[in-house]
Structure 1
């Protein structure tokens, strides 16, 4: 099986990270997984290799191709049918047609069940909505050990995505500097693709915050936290899955609809588009956390209810069916 995906300073790390989750789950089912990735600025090829997977840079024959890439559509997929019998697509946008045998979109939107009706073939299996969340084992374990949250916001987790192309982390650190010791503990997480990671580390060291880079223990940090300041995207659902109240700043077009809808449902605080989110926006948010603690914790409870599953990662069986 070949996974076609990429990471870069512009693309971010989310596609690769969720594909690693898929790969590790399928590896447990004795599936050999290879990653096809381009050598882009901020790529995660070395990280994928460190996680135990072979990487390639061109098409090869495989029983199944899994594609997680916004720049790939029906034309590319039809062209690559010569290399594979089955194609699985991971998507969030529903903005282009696909020639695939299975499509997985884990996002919760008002029309999530029908938005691919005209975009995939009739025979295509559709795994749509939060029932099909792609969750790492650490998050599944964290949900089983669900934290009993009180109404005190003392520990803050900051994670604005692996590359944070709009420099939200720096804005947040400037906002936090105005609060002195108002919060008991601050965890700041960045990815290897963040071009400002060294500056962020220096600020964290100076202000006494815990700095983490390209980690594999995010769920543990989420368990400990009382609130997370984050970006939209797949980490929104990870925060919901462990019942962590959070805010989301929209830093990419693909995050807009899901962030706004999650806000309408009460599962996240939507701060809006990054261009309009300033240091003062984050200062206002931090002030509200101290005055609206009961309301904030209700956000976490709504997140838990939206991500209820009969069992974790039900998409595994569906993908395995294609391989038999």
Structure 2
């Protein structure tokens, strides 16, 4: 059986977005009778890695030359037909080593901040049709096959449009400790629940880095603290209003047309709002936010109390996202594998 290698890196604190989109691709490849193996720096034992083939490099620091040697030693005697890379640390120097050895190399990127030497470059972001191409024009080989744009968004098959039984507000700021910076919003909102015209439930998704239980009265029946839950599909499906980081979770929300208030937690998440509006992202708070966070609380209350009007903003985006992005990527890569 031919094997596909996925070189990425993650743990329960960082890199989860990379892991989940690679996991979706893994499942698609396996349905096409390919063996799929992840190569990561160090194995993270958790529910995340159940039923996943993993090769562990046992390395603490990344050096492209040492890493490439370790990876090659792992795969040189295997029937590898594709190396798929989703790792911001890897650039053309690493990639070129494997291309020269005859491997097909596909890169998933969204930063456009480094050169690549690969057969395929996948970036599902939207920066305007012309800008999508220009971002990488000086960063890739002329014969690199490029898969640009929202038609290649990778959406989990577990994301589904359902009828919601109650009004759920979801707070999520990623797997790191960004919640520290925005805790004031949540704290203020919890004290103002009586200002909502409808009954709401506040779901706060936190990582193990932030002990929210000590800061918020967990006996409040309207507040649900969700800790160390890395499979968020059900929570996303049930969400009526999302407040949180401008990360990969926005793809799922865009597909569901879920109303959202996006907050960039770092400079990498800052975007061109004009292009982002094409995808239905109309309310966006740029990093750093220098005004009082209480203003965001007031915005949330107004959005909920006028929700029938508010949700209409998100129903008909200029560019629609479907659930076929992963299938499109897999189909194109397999066609290359079969020559």
Answer whether TM exceeds 0.5 for this pair: yes
Answer whether contact 1:248 1:271 (CA < 8 A) is retained: yes
Q: Does 1:27 align with 2:30?
A: yes
Matches within 5 A, 1:20-99: 20-39=23-42, 44=44, 46-57=46-57, 58-59=70-71, 60-61=74-75, 62-81=80-99, 85-99=103-117
Query: Which of 112, 120, 143 does residue 123 from structure 1 map onto?
Result: 143
Q: Does 1:246 align with 2:260?
A: yes
Q: TM-score, normalised by structure 1?
A: 0.83
Answer whether contact 1:154 1:226 (CA < 8 A) is retained: yes
**Moved runs in structure 1, 4+ residues, more than 6 A?**
none
What is the CA-CA distance between 1:310 and the residue it aligns to? Answer: 8.7
1:77-100: CA deviation from partner (whole Å, max 9, x where unpaired): 113446661111000111211011
Q: Which has the larger radius of gyration?
A: 2
Structure 1 unaligned regions, length at least 5: none
Q: Matches of 2:13 and 2:230 in 1, distance apart?
A: 22
Structure with higher helix content: 1
SS at match of 2:271: helix
Change (3 A) 1:98 1:240: same
Answer whether contact 1:5 1:35 (CA < 8 A) is retained: yes
Structure 2 unaligned regions, length at least 5: 58-69
Q: Matches of 2:15 and 2:292 in 1, distance apart?
A: 21
Partner of 1:226: 240
Change (3 A) 1:122 1:231: same
What is the CA-CA distance between 1:53 and the residue it aligns to? Answer: 2.8
**What do you get for the CA RMSD once the two structures are aligned?**
3.0
Matches within 5 A, 1:190-201: 190-191=206-207, 194-196=208-210, 198-200=211-213
Query: Which of 295, 299, 309 does residue 285 from structure 1 map onto?
Result: 299
SS at match of 2:106: strand
Q: TM-score, normalised by structure 2?
A: 0.79
1:143-188: CA deviation from partner (whole Å, max 9, x where unpaired): xx46599xxx932111211224352563342122222343421222
Q: Does 1:267 align with 2:276?
A: no
Number of equivalences:
310
